[in-house]
Chains A and B, each alone.
Chain A
Amino acid sequence: MSPILDISNLYKNYGSTEILKDINVSIEPGDFLVLVGPSGCGKSTLLNCIAGLEPITSGRIEIGGRDMTHVSPKDRDIAMVFQSYALYPTMSVAKNITFGMKVRGVDAATQEAKLNEVARQLQIEPLLNRRPGQLSGGQRQRVAMGRALVRDPKLFLFDEPLSNLDAKLRVEMRMEIKKLHHNLGATMVYVTHDQIEAMTLATKIVVMKGGVVQQIGSPSEIYNTPANLFVADFMGSPAMNLIPARARSNGNGTEIEIARDNDAPIVLRDVHARNLPEDVILGLRPEDIAQAGFRAGEDVQQAACMIDMVEPAGADTYVVSNLGGKQVTARLHAETAARPGEMLDLAFDLGKVSYFAPDSGERLN
């Protein structure tokens, strides 16, 4: 199947500042693409470029197999939810939601039916006659969603559509969006700062930094094999442990040595790693460091570590130990006997390990 959205070599400058650099992204019909990245990295700008609301400096945008680079927004067959909502202040909620249909000449009965359906999904039925100024932030955000959802476009563009909702409503709306994606087979591009949203909704994640794409991949690729230190650090909460270490080739495998302040270094044997440089950054997610005896597998290696801090978090308990000059977090079960200031045997699951070059930050394995 041909991609529904195909962005190639897109550059976007504001004046002389480059905001987006050489963006290449392509998504298939039915894909759910999530854009993540730190504030100011150009996510909203990219959405605006896809929508045709900002002219691009160079490159090419295809939607549904057609070159849309110079096509006006209304002919791109897209619907968009803006980060700032952009509700029409003088229109009622109902009018806001139906404006697009009215402009496009949809008949009144269909407008009414769509409006009611969307109002029910978004739980805004009692608000339909209010003006945007009389709504709370979260209510406005749902109206903004409604304005997009009544349409049936080739491509939905969502710019942080749930950022202003309370935790419960956010989970409900997330489910609604997921359902919508399933039922309509709609294709979406979705910006979020919420890691859980990104992981649960996406079929494909794009991680950006400073206008440059860092990695494109499925949620599990991004999570398990981050392409560089930035992605490793950015995705996941709590973040991946990134521990400076020394690698030594040794027979059929590599010895990884992690220095410690007041103790002998930890030495782990990784039988899969080959050809590592001497200095590496070892990346292990907190859940891949467990209490000894609670993790089995051929790649699990144990070492006794001094526990500096214990943080119970309900279902799990996080413990922190100082390894290689870094605060390393391990995720233990809730009933762990770990005490601050005591030694504890930790199990490191090297089957999940990532290695990065300290200078370039690129992934090595």
Chain B
Amino acid sequence: MTDLALSPPLSRPWGRLALRWLLFTLLGVFALFYLMPLFVMVTTSLKSLEEIRTGSLIAFPREVTFEAWKTAWSGACTGIQCEGLRPYFWNSVVLAIPAVLISTFVGAMNGYVIAQWRFRGANLIFSLLLFGCFIPFQVVLLPMARMLGILGLAGSIPGLIFVHVIYGIGFTTLFFRNYYVTIPSELVKAAKVDGAGFFRIFWSIFLPLSLPIVVVTVIWQFTQIWNDFLFGVSFSQAGTQPVTVALNNIVNSTTGVKEYNVDMAAAIIAALPTLIVYVVAGKYFIRGLTAGSVKG
């Protein structure tokens, strides 16, 4: 506290206040910058085509209309069909939920085994799984297509689930393994002496400890899978496309006048689930990322 003597007592709170204001202003500017596109999207989606053509891009709508939303949801054309995003949205839902749950569960199991039941070659397997995280999507496209063909899953939603689970396991294992290595190995020992076996210890002791990392993994996986375009466009066919592919089709296949309001509404609809997941569980996400060891 050497500066106490140097600076007059009053200047301290003032300096601190100024600094705080500067900080908030800066943060505010950044937030505005990032919110700008969202603002444009929302306002545009609420305008009529007429108004878009005549008005300014960043103006509020003179007359709020949900027509564009309705069209985007159930009427917009994706190629020859004009059913809007709805069927594809549900495709994404039935695709993402099982894929997230399965990959999270498998990752938890893997992490538990690698971190707490060390066996010969555990490190090697972990390294290989990690390697899997860094393989670019494009590299696996062709082998995966062939594989799905062999398995009879080509072009189906189960096939897409399979692909996402396989691709996600590397990450989910990494998350859970890093979380579980911080848990003292004596817990497993004590439970073994108490008579519990492999699965009992997992269910009764490790899973209840895992809420923070489960949240992190679920958010991560959900975002990845919901937002995925490449796998979706590669491994789906007419009826099984996920929402991202449908969105692309809507935006690209309109002939004649470009319906910006419909495009914007469709984009927001497609992004909504990940947005909601972040808003609802974001708090746990941060907490989970920083959660450390467990004190007995």
Interface pair A86/B197, CB less than 8 Å apart: no
Question: Which of A73-81, A258-266, A290-298 sits within the interface?
Answer: A73-81
Q: Mark B174-212, 1 if CB is under 8 A from A, else 0.
A: 000000000010110111111111001000110011000
Interface pair A90/B190, CB less than 8 Å apart: no
**Given A86-B296, A87-B296, also A80-B200 (CB < 8 A):** no
Interface pair A86/B187, CB less than 8 Å apart: yes
Interface pair A88/B205, CB less than 8 Å apart: yes
CA distance A21 to B97 in the complex (A): 55
**Given A82-B190, A88-B191, also A99-B209 (CB < 8 A):** no
CA distance A103 to B200 in the complex (A): 8
**Given A53-B192, A89-B294, also A82-B186 (CB < 8 A):** yes
CA distance A88 to B201 in the complex (A): 10
Q: Nearest Cβ in chain B — how far from A362, in angstroms?
A: 38
Q: Nearest Cβ in chain B — how far from A19, in angstroms?
A: 16
For residue A286, CB closer than 8 A to chain B, the reply is: no
Q: Mark B264-296, 1 if CB is under 8 A from A, else 0.
A: 000000000000000000000000000000111
Chain A-chain B contacts (Cβ-Cβ < 8 Å), number: 73
Which residue of chain A has its CB nearest to the CB of B183? A89
**Given A80-B190, A99-B204, also A74-B296 (CB < 8 A):** no
Which residue of chain A has its CB nearest to the CB of B194? A100
Give the interface residue-count category, chain A: 20 to 34
CA distance A87 to B295 in the complex (A): 9
Residues of B close to A85: CB separation below 8 A: 186, 296
CA distance A53 to B118 in the complex (A): 12
How many chain B residues have a CB neighbour from A under 8 Å?
Answer: 20
Interface pair A73/B193, CB less than 8 Å apart: yes
- Please pick, from A73, A80, A90, A147, the residue contacting B208 in the complex, using a CB distance under 8 A: A90
Residues of B close to A140: CB separation below 8 A: 296
Interface pair A78/B193, CB less than 8 Å apart: yes
Which residue of chain B has its CB nearest to the CB of A98? B194
CA distance A72 to B205 in the complex (A): 19
CA distance A88 to B191 in the complex (A): 9
Residues of A close to B184: CB separation below 8 A: 84, 86
CA distance A73 to B194 in the complex (A): 9
Question: For residues 17 through 39 of chain B, which have their beta carbon under 8 Å from a beta carbon of chain A?
Answer: none
Residues of B close to A84: CB separation below 8 A: 184, 186, 296
CA distance A132 to B294 in the complex (A): 11
Q: Nearest Cβ in chain B — how far from A70, in angstroms?
A: 15
Residues of B close to A132: CB separation below 8 A: 296
Residues of A close to B186: CB separation below 8 A: 82, 84-86
Which residue of chain A has its CB nearest to the CB of B196? A103
- Please pick, from A74, A89, A147, the residue contacting B197 in the complex, using a CB distance under 8 A: A74
Q: Nearest Cβ in chain B — how far from A155, in angstroms?
A: 11
Interface pair A90/B192, CB less than 8 Å apart: no
Interface pair A147/B195, CB less than 8 Å apart: no
Closest CB pairs A-B (n = 5)? A100-B194, A86-B186, A86-B190, A90-B208, A74-B195
Complex A-B: 27 CB contacts under 8 Å: A51-B189, A53-B193, A73-B189, A73-B193, A74-B192, A74-B196, A79-B193, A80-B190, A82-B190, A86-B184, A86-B187, A87-B190, A88-B204, A88-B296, A89-B295, A89-B296, A90-B205, A91-B208, A99-B191, A99-B196, A100-B193, A100-B195, A103-B194, A103-B196, A103-B200, A147-B190, A147-B194
Q: A86-B184, A86-B189 are in contact. List 10 more A-B contacts (CB 8 A).
A: A53-B193, A80-B190, A80-B193, A82-B186, A82-B190, A86-B187, A90-B208, A103-B194, A103-B195, A140-B296
